[in-house]
Amino acid sequence: MNIIHPWPDSPEAAVTLQQQLRNQIRIQPLDRPAETIAGCDISFNKFEETVYAGIVVLRLDTLETIAEATAITTTSFPYVPGLLSFREIPALLEAWAKLTILPDVVVFDGHGIAHPRRLGIASHAGLLLDRPTLGCGKSVLVGRYEEPALERGSWSPMMHRGEVIGAALRTKNKVNPVYVSPGHLIDLQTGIDLMLRCDGGYRIPETTRRAHNLVNDVRRANL
Annotated binding-site ranges: 41, 109
Annotated binding site for Mg(2+): 41, 109
What sign for the dihedral angle of Cα 222, 53, 201, 34? negative
DSSP string, 131-152: S-EEEEESS-SS-B-PPPPSST
DSSP string, 39-52: EEEEEE-TTSSEEE
**Type of residue at 149:** A
Q: How many residues does the chain have?
A: 223
> How far is C-alpha 37 from the chain's CA centre?
12
Q: Are 99 and 55 in contact (CB under 8 A)?
A: yes
Closest CA to 100 of 75, 64, 67: 67
Q: Are 71 and 65 in contact (CB under 8 A)?
A: no
